[in-house]
Amino acid sequence: MKPASFKYYSPESLEEALRLKAQYGDEARILAGGQSLIPAMNFRIMQPAVLLDLNLLSELSYISTKDGKVLHLGAMTRLNEVEDDVVIADRLSLLHEALPYIAHPQIRNRGTVGGNIAHADPAAELPVVALAMDSRFRVQSINGSHWIDSEDFFRGYFETAIDSSEILVEIEMPFISTCTGWAFLEVSRRPGDYAMAGIAALVTLDSNQICRKARLVYLNLSDAPLDAKQSADLLVGEVQSDDLIMAVAIKASEEEIMPMESLHATVNYQRHLACILTKRALELAFGRARQR
């Protein structure tokens, strides 16, 4: 298959890219890594009139921890760079644990952080991690830039809060605090395939091993990353027990997630996977929290 005809621009500065985005608006699609966009164009699922290639914008490729508390990622930073960063492995273990689940090494060599997040695939790993970590996203237009919280960013199936004149330029993610355990798990038919279900879990304990904060965010179990707040709230104020974890897993899988049936997994099977993954993730997160 070949894509439909389109205009191609390769801006040499962010200012030029923003002018072009303002000019063409919804007609223009951003080419970052292209690992999702190009196949969709080849199958003509997507037929943009204009393609804006950001690969010359080295200013959008960086990993910074300048303030010691928050990770700053340029939108054009390659996934493999994030995967190999030692500070991220130490201070943002949830992100580090999720990255190897993203497709294959060849894809991560080209794929970008911003492209993965802005594409907003409900089966993608980074949007789920970003939401679990209370990340923020900086978007920019010719009129300036502003930040969008992760809970307001993902609107639905391949839909975000980015305006037609804006480009995602930076991701901000806070480091994992002391006494917080994490876990990222997913199930796919083969390594590198789209996940049938997945979860990012965070649990923060006090000195008495009582849970003071928890987060459970699911992938591919709704049309966007799903934050199971009611299920996570069951953990707060409690000490880990098998009965507690089972109750949380049942509530999340039966009441909060909203699976979309596919050729690879029925709704009932996805609920079953969600229950199993929730139990495993919480056991792992509680154990890591105690160690920290």
Q: What is the mean pLDDT of residues 248-260?
A: 97
Q: What is the mean pLDDT of residues 79-99?
A: 97
- Hey, is 241 helix, strand or coil? coil
Estimate to the nearest angstrom the gap between the alpha carbon of 247 and the chain centroid: 26
Decide: residue 249, CB within 10 A, 0-12 exposed, 13-18 middle, 19+ buried: buried
pLDDT averaged over the chain?
Answer: 96
pLDDT reported for residue 67? 78
Q: Do the Cβ atoms of 122 and 219 come closer than 8 Å?
A: yes
- Stretch (H or E) spanning 154: strand 154-156
Q: Which residue has the tokens 């279900």?
A: 197
Q: Over 80: is that where the pLDDT of 1 sits? A: no
Closest Cα to residue 116, out of 24, 28, 241, 225?
Answer: 225
Residue bearing the bigger pLDDT, 13 or 191: 13
**pLDDT range class, residue 167, cuts 50, 70, 90:** very high
Summarize pLDDT for 14-37 with one digit per residue, the tens: 999 999 999 999 999 999 999 999
Residue 144's alpha-carbon distances to 3, 15, 82, 141, 169, in angstroms, are 33, 11, 27, 5, 12
Summarize pLDDT for 60-88 with one digit per residue, the tens: 999 999 778 899 999 999 999 999 999 99
Q: Where are the beta strands (DSSP E) in 188-292?
A: 197-205, 211-219, 226-227
Counting residues of the chain whose pLDDT is more than 70, the rounded percentage is: 100
Residue 267's alpha-carbon distances to 198, 260, 264, in angstroms, are 14, 6, 10
